[in-house]
Chains A and B, each alone.
Chain A
Amino acid sequence: MSLSYQDLVNEAKLKIPEVDPSQLLNLAGSVTILDVRESDEFDQGAIETARLVPRGLLESVIGMHVDDLDEKIILYCAGGARSALAAQSLKQMGYTNVSSLRGGFGRWKTDGHPWKVPEGLSKDQRGRYSRHILLPEVGEEGQIRLLESKVLIVGAGGLGSPAALYLAAAGVGTIGIVDFDVVDATNLQRQILHNIDRVGQSKVESARETLAALNPDVKIVTYDERLSAENVLQILSGYEVVLDGGDNFPTRYLVNDASVRLRIPVVHGSIFRFEGQVTVFEPYAGPCYRCQYPEPPPPELAPSCAEAGVLGVLPGVIGTLQAMEILKILLEIGDTLSGRLLTYDGLSQEFRTFRIRRDPTCPACSDESHPPAIVEYDQFCTPAGVVARAG
């Protein structure tokens, strides 16, 4: 005996419970609502708290959205047929508390219940970011969040290069890049934003070209200037996270003081030969750079990459870890490195984590009512440990 589509639907409806729109309205907030229609239908309008899980993917991805077989789940489609079949399938998979919305989204709307047109992604974006969207920790909502976020990268060099590439690829909507330098042939062994044709070109322009070619969704804002006491607050303002990929202590202390003042988290990375450090400085919630390093080492103990050399892949490792921390901050997922210093030794291939804390005597962040003033710090004239207070 063969069964028609309607027979299948009717049979499913006998086996799974259906809820009316008014019942669902009362349950909203306490149940998981999954929209099993196709994405183009979802884009036209959906129940506010619903997550899109198209029918064709439902069985393969349900485990990513619902980890408890006894969780209360309500499925809906346009008219209640596809969701009935989908609910039956989930029931067969062991989900014990699955219902289908009687009459589907059509009846929900007719009954005058609230719905919205999702701030959705375009079809191209759904394709581009599909591997993000599959992650329940990101999903469409997280991807939209990334597209709306603003990150500033200090330094388009060894650390800034891999970080900028991954952040642009991830769809971070606005990426600011500060660097006053030009591309030099000696940069190319590690600064993968640039290439041989760009030698002599400004680094921020080179970065813009590379990132624009990678992802047209991303707005690149360039600052072809040296970060200074005069411009640092203006440049940092409006960004949600700062990636510190500078190559000198004065800039790092300047970024710290400005970020404490503006309360913007800084994802710090620094490298030396085969070793690197990564942490997150979250103003007033965790330690800042001055808590950790009240003073810079004397110049002879802190030679730059230009003086001491650096294995090209090292900033790739550290800059990529910084990009990971930035995405976690923007998506509010996982545990960031705030309060922890991650060190990496490429030669021993060893990661270690140290606990770091706010310094109750920190000249920059110990007194929230007196944020640090922004003064030009010069390695030779103004010691970094001396911090002026803003009025």
Chain B
Amino acid sequence: MSAVVKIPTSLQGLTGGSSIVEVPAGRLGEVITNLTDTYPELGERLLDENGNLRRFVNVFVAEDDIRFLEGLETKVSPGQVVTILPAVAGG
């Protein structure tokens, strides 16, 4: 069973318009790699040159911010939802 990654509207242009992408579960780093293998442009947006998540992106596994879990080492179980949430400024 795969993990479910929710893609924010502002990044859906890089996933062919998909708001939900299913990838194999595993460590979050693997989930992101699986995601960016399919959508390389998304990888450039999410990760810096060292492979770390860029700081304007918040990633949540279920309801928790991965910065306060184990970062890219956080385990993502099958069926769990990974949410990518960038800041938006509109008002």
Bound together, the chains give a CA A272 to CA B85 distance in angstroms of 12
Binary flags per residue of B45-66, CB closer than 8 Å to A gives 1, else 0: 1000000001111101001110
A204 at the interface (CB under 8 A from B): no
Contact yes or no, B56 A354, CB < 8 A? no
Chain A residues closer than 8 Å to B85, beta-carbon distance: 277, 341, 343, 354
Interface-side segment among A17-25, A31-39, A134-142, A244-252: A244-252
Known: A245-B91, A293-B58, A294-B55. A354 touches B86 (CB 8 A): no
Cβ of B49 to closest chain A Cβ, rounded Å: 15
> Which bucket holds chain B's interface residue count?
20 to 34
Q: Is the CB of B9 within 8 A of A273?
A: yes
Out of A160, A246, A292, A357, name the residue touching B89 (CB < 8 Å). A246
Check B88 against A295 for contact (C-beta < 8 Å). no
Q: B86 contacts which chain A residues (CB < 8 A)?
A: 297, 301-302
Contact B88 A359 (CB under 8 A): no
Cβ contact of A295, chosen from B54, B60, B63, B83, cutoff 8 A: B54
Q: Is the CB of B40 closer than 8 A to any CB of chain A?
A: no
Chain B neighbourhood of A298, CB < 8 A: 56
List residues of A (346-360) whose CB comes within 8 Å of B's CBs. 352-357, 359
Cβ B56 vs Cβ A269 within 8 A: no
Q: Does A275 have its Cβ within 8 Å of any Cβ on chain B?
A: yes
Determine the chain B residues whose CB is within 8 A of the CB of A80 once the complex forms: none
- Interface residues in A281-332 by Cβ distance below 8 A to B read 292-298, 301-305, 308, 310, 315
**C-alpha gap A296/B86 in the complex (Å):** 8
Q: Report the bound CA distance from A301 to B56 in whole Å.
A: 10
CB closest residue in chain B, given A305: B90
Which residue of chain A has its CB nearest to the CB of B8?
A275
Q: Give the residues in chain A near B10, CB-CB below 8 Å.
A: 272, 297, 301-303, 308
CB-CB under 8 A from A297, the residues of chain B are 10, 56-57, 86-87
When the two chains form their complex, are residues B83 and A272 in contact, meaning their CB atoms are under 8 A apart?
Answer: no
Decide if B63 touches A271 in the complex (CB within 8 Å). Answer: no
Does the CB pair B9–A304 fall under 8 Å? no
How many residues does chain A have at the interface if contact means C-beta atoms less than 8 Å apart? 46
- Contacts A273-B9, A301-B10: A310 and B90 contacting too (C-beta < 8 A)? yes
A159 within 8 A of partner (CB): yes
A143: interface (CB < 8 Å): no
Q: Is the CB of A247 within 8 A of B63?
A: no
**0 or 1 for each of B64-79: is its CB under 8 Å from A? (1 = yes):** 1101100000000000
Structural contact, B68 and A270, CB atoms closer than 8 A:
no
* Least CB separation from B88: chain A residue: A272
B41 to chain A: closest CB distance in Å? 12
Q: Which A residues touch B35, using CB under 8 A?
A: none
Residues of A within 8 A of B65 (CB): 354-357
Are the CB atoms of B89 and A354 closer together than 8 Å? no
B88 x A357 contact (CB < 8 A)? no
**Contacts known (A354-B64, A356-B65); A270 close to B89, Cβ less than 8 A:** yes
CA distance A245 to B85 in the complex (A): 19
B55 contact from A271, A343, A385, Cβ within 8 A: A385
Task: Give bound CA distance, A302 to B85, whole Å.
Answer: 12
Q: Which residues of A contact B63 (CB under 8 A)?
A: 352-355
Contact (Cβ within 8 A) A302 B88: yes
Given A352-B83, A354-B65, A355-B64: A296 touches B56 (CB 8 Å cut-off): yes
Residue with the highest number of chain A CB atoms closer than 10 Å, among B9, B55, B56: B56
Interface: A371 (CB within 8 A): no
CB-CB nearest in chain B for A250: B89
- In the assembled complex, the Cα of A304 lies from the Cα of B85 at a distance in Å of 17
Known: A272-B9, A293-B56. 17 other contacts (CB 8 A): A155-B91, A160-B91, A244-B91, A249-B89, A252-B89, A270-B91, A271-B88, A271-B90, A277-B88, A295-B56, A296-B87, A297-B87, A308-B10, A343-B85, A353-B63, A354-B85, A356-B65
6 A-B residue contacts at CB 8 Å? A246-B89, A277-B85, A277-B88, A297-B56, A301-B56, A354-B58
Return the 3 tightest CB-CB contacts between A and B, nearest first. Answer: A272-B88, A293-B87, A297-B56
